[in-house]
Structure 1
Amino acid sequence: MSTSAHFKLSDFPHKVLDPIATLTVPPTYATIKHAQRQLMTNAAAIPTLNGGGAHGHMALTLTALAYADISDVPFVIPVAPPANPPPGATQPQITENNRVHQRDADIYNLYVAVNNALRQQLLDAIPRIYVRALAHPMFEFSNVTCLDLLSHLWTKYGTIKPAELQKNFQSMFTPWNTTEPIESVFLQLDEAIAFSVDGNDPISEAAAVRAGYEVIAHSGLLLLDCKEWRKLPLASHTLANFQQHFSLADDDRRLTATTGSLGYANVLAATPSLTPATVSDTLSLPFSALSVSQTSVSSPDMTYCWTHGTSKNRRHTSATCKNKAPGHRDDATATNTLGGSTKIWTAPKPPK
């Protein structure tokens, strides 16, 4: 549907916003922020020279103070021009007055159209019960802007609660899906830090580095690189150094896993065993899976996985494994490992 001669809803990168809330689950800081980002992206996609011209109509989703953080040129809210252009004494004056009037009308109409579309997207993403305080008895939300709705949601539901801060802290310990690049570990650390800052309870860089190290160490894929990291002076355990160290390590690991005739499991088997005494150093480890040994797997309570070794998870076998290393063998068993891992694996447990 076209809402203006210069704007179509299909111009929005996000055609539909992700749900902000349901009737049983109210809005949260995280869902409001996600909606804000989507709306900002949509608004920025509709160009205008107003506000410096670099951010489109993003001012429709930001306060004037917030917009000033991204632009040195204020965004001036367009005013509707008169219904008719002013008269002119000569034909050139009439032509110029008509041109200016049409330009001002186009700018204003586009501004209104984009605001209306953004407002409707937001209303479609949230039950009316959470924004009914802004509705007019007769006109409902027709005189309410997108920014009005966002400001209301932030004020009433945007406070980060202690339980959310704790959940956010634990999110740093989400196990690494090793089919994805190691940057996914770095991303979850960065996002947790940003969330904690917004909640006025910042996670320290040292705590984030420790969490990231435990996630990587628990994967069992970069044991030698973990050992090298532990040997570095604590003063060098910065987040930037951590990401650089393990990014290079994972690049090498992936290269090794895809070259050589022995296969990835034999590379792991050739890695020195990691004992609890080796990994304890100065860290307080929430994971219980960092011990590697050659313990027999004959216990009936244990199962075997070519990639991860033995575990007490009866649903985790070579055939059912969801995070298989390159060269994984589905037919490997405890009695015939086919060159697979010899370590004992347990699920990670983040701190409470």
Structure 2
Amino acid sequence: MYGYAQLTVIQVLTHLDTTYGTVDAFDLAHNLKRMNATWSPSQPIEDLWNQIKDAQKFAADHDPITDQYAVRSALENLENSGMFTDSLRDWRKPTIAAQQSFATMETHFTAADKERRRILTSKGMGYANKATEAKSNKDSPASTKGDKNGVPMYYCWSHGLGPNGNHTSASCSKPVTGHRKDSTADNMLGGCCQIHRKAGERAIYRRPQRPNRDNDENQPPADPAQG
């Protein structure tokens, strides 16, 4: 029994055919069923090629399976997978159609499957990086907010919100009395609510003058680093 453990299905069937009898119509029909079994994109594409090749070998001396039939069987599986739209379109182009065989099909779609898996891997890594970045921003004491152009803004309890990533509540070099290093843009803890422009941005807005306005001695000093 253990002597057959390393044998493929086709090797076992060939051995049984040679040792115990001839292949009948039922065996051939069952062989075609195995050949046309559904292939899943989660499997290596080599599984699809092997199931077709094994079927061809089994039927070779009884009812040979032509290359054309093998190609049609593979195409049906590939189309049903929904994963090879562009490659199937290329396969049907006249320049390729003239050279179609099972061997060229194997080469063509093996390359397409390799590229498909590469893209899936790249996307998976991209999603993972975005998730890590989102978690990092959420956990960071310097919580950021994006302006209308997507520029990140960093919060300082003493000086407010600005584009300087090196100036946060935790890293402020000129804190005012009562400064809270644990304040963030999401939780200012009563800190400064000013928003600073990025460096080089021209000021357009002008605050209207107020009559009899008293100087606010508690107003925090301007921070040139916020720019």
TM-score for both structures, normalised by structure 2: 0.47
TM-score for both structures, normalised by structure 1: 0.31
